[in-house]
Structure 1
Amino acid sequence: MKQIGFICSLALLTVTLFSCEQEESLNVQTSETESKGLPYQTAYTEYQLKNWTETGSPYLENELDNAAATLKAPYLRSQDGLFKLPDAQTRAFGVNPQQNRFWTMIRLKIAVTGYIKDAVVEAISRIEENTNIRFYNAINDPETDPVYGIKLPNVYIRMALTNGQTGSSYVGRLGDEQYISIPKEAESWENEEELVAFVMRALCNVAGMYNEQQRNDRDNFVIIDTKNVPSYNRYHFTKITNNFYSRGAFDSNSITLAGTNEFGLNSIKLKDGTMILKNLELSNLDKAFLNYFYLPFVARKDTYSELAPVVYDGNNRKLSESERLELQAYLNNGNPTPPTGGYADIVPW
């Protein structure tokens, strides 16, 4: 096992890859109109909702291992989407917690077509272009690893099953197949940018990002009024009070921040009463969160941990080539040079 220490800076590196939190000023939005946007819900399992009620967090403390500070099993390939083998120990009583909620590469199975698929591919491209996140097309992969018998996690992108069903995605890696559902009305949606933003937000949730209005300190920046929010949507405004990680100040530009009328009329505004528009791009702090917790691995058939040519640190700074190679050597027992060949066959989206 190799220790990947990214929560603090790597002591073995000659440069500090991850510096202290950077603050970002609020960018107050002054428009008095807001596009309705596609209906969206963040999904939680019954187990997570129970944890949330009892502990203030959907994830328990022992479920918070993450891709940036965990043990990477040397026999796992990056595209397997796992940093550690699931705990196979038999328990007579009690829950079997997930090992972690972050990924190596986010495994996707895309089951949408046409205009919707184009938007999904564009969302993937924008996230990969600006962050360390890498996605892997798992459409032809077996459900389990043929060597180790590991149940491989996947995100299955599909249309919602019924008309009128709200689109949804889960937060973080659940350890099994999970879903991003896109509402059927999106098939007639004319604003491609809003559809792409919908998918980007869902993928950010899958990557482990909570929605910005759930921050523990959100009351210092926004006014929440849920009287017009249906009871089944009010959890979108419930604060995460334990076992969370925040980067920088409250971010009015986050792609995960709810719009003023998204879940109910005037349900959220900035402290000065300004309406919040739905953000259509990743903010700088969205990128910083993803870059802090992820590395851009290259899909290989072997277990060498190869990094993409562009790697960002936790403040969105591109590493120099010497820094990238030093980090790659650290991940591979001192060897900065990938073996010849050994690349996985990439299935086009």
Structure 2
Amino acid sequence: MFKPSFSALAYLALFGTISLASCSKEQQVQPDQPEQVAQDQAELAYPGQTGEAKAGEWGGQPVSYQEINGDKVYEGDILLTSEQLTSGSDGDQQRPGSAGRTTGRWPSGIVYYTIDAALPNQARVTDAIAHWQANSPVRFIARTTQTAYVTFRVGSGCSSNIGRTGSRQYINLASGCSTGNTIHEIGHAVGLFHEQTRNDRDTFVNILTQNIQSGYEGNFTKYSASGYGGTDYGALDFGSIMMYGSFSFSSNGQPTITKKDGSTFNIQRTGLSAGDKSGIDAMY
């Protein structure tokens, strides 16, 4: 079965509705475009590289991804496994959900992990873990003999497997990946997708496809357009740590996402939003 999808404000559609106050265009602070460009480049498995476009099946539904250096890259920073792409299972570990969507939850909300000794600046990992533990029911326990666990290691960019895969999986961190980026990648590892791919997102935002960098159009595709089912609850959360900013993956300096009134907004990579927290509470 498909799991209900959460809005960024209430991750995975199981949760309560949270309304957002709207701002007029005049009230909007202009987004920091250089910051958004930096975040875009960070939250890619392989910054500056594109791969061969591939089509496969995930949970019995069609999915498009890029193959780069042997990795199956989805939505820029999500790494799919061969098992996810070949299994016809309807189980929670195989079905993608939607923005604030979830997949592959960790039993009892416990994530077992290791940190590769070669990873520099390990404080960004421990600080990100501390943030998750202070703001959600998810617990992180150092791995001993468990077969399903996350390893934080050096990567070309910031990337993660999605949900619990059932074996060793990775959160990859380049030197430019911040604590905020690490919090975002942990979101993927616990089962969260990007907020802008919600089925109901057109109620809240305009997607300006003519401004999206070639090869990254799939990062903005609604899950329903990819053949996935699900239900959105609550309002789209512009402040979610899983949400792109207005200028994310812009090819020409013009916005790729705006609010319905045409105003722009910043990317947020500081920490879990109030909506993120309530969504995770309902999920775990």
TM category (shorter chain) comes to 0.5 to 0.7
1:40 alignment counterpart: 43
Pair 1:55-2:61 in alignment: yes
Give how far 1:49 is off: 5.9
TM-score, normalised by the number of residues in structure 1: 0.55
Secondary structure of 1:181's counterpart equals: strand
Alignment partner for residue 210 of structure 2, among 227, 242, 251?
Answer: 227
Change in CA separation of 1:112 and 1:167 when aligned onto 2, cut-off 3 Å? farther
TM-score, normalised by the number of residues in structure 2: 0.66
Give how far 1:51 is off: 3.0
Contact 1:247 1:288 in 2 (8 A): no
Give how far 1:121 is off: 0.9
Give how far 1:113 is off: 6.3
Give how far 1:166 is off: 3.1
Give how far 1:171 is off: 2.1
Number of aligned residue pairs: 218
Counterpart Cα distance in 1 of 2:244 and 2:59: 22
Between the aligned residues of both structures, percent identity stands at 25
Paired residue type of 2:206 = I
Pair 1:132-2:124 in alignment: no
Which protein has the bigger strand share? 2
Alignment partner for residue 106 of structure 2, among 103, 107, 112?
Answer: 103
Secondary structure of 2:114's counterpart equals: strand
Counterpart Cα distance in 1 of 2:159 and 2:153: 10
Cα RMSD over matched residues? Answer: 3.2
Counterpart Cα distance in 2 of 1:267 and 1:112: 39
Consecutive unaligned residues of structure 2, counting only runs of 5 or more, are 5-13, 47-51, 65-85, 94-103
1:286 alignment counterpart: 276
Change in CA separation of 1:42 and 1:219 when aligned onto 2, cut-off 3 Å? farther
2:261 alignment counterpart: 272
Alignment partner for residue 181 of structure 1, among 150, 172, 179?
Answer: 172
Secondary structure of 1:184's counterpart equals: coil
Consecutive unaligned residues of structure 1, counting only runs of 5 or more, are 1-6, 8-18, 59-93, 146-151, 187-194, 295-349
Paired residue type of 1:41 = L
Counterpart Cα distance in 2 of 1:153 and 1:49: 27
1:250 alignment counterpart: 236
Give how far 1:214 is off: 0.4
Contact 2:31 2:265 in 1 (8 A): no
Secondary structure of 1:204's counterpart equals: helix
Pair 1:208-2:191 in alignment: yes
Counterpart Cα distance in 2 of 1:218 and 1:111: 38
Counterpart Cα distance in 2 of 1:42 and 1:246: 27
User: Which is bigger in relative contact order (C-alpha 8 A, separation at least 6)?
Assistant: 2
Secondary structure of 1:202's counterpart equals: helix
Paired residue type of 2:243 = L
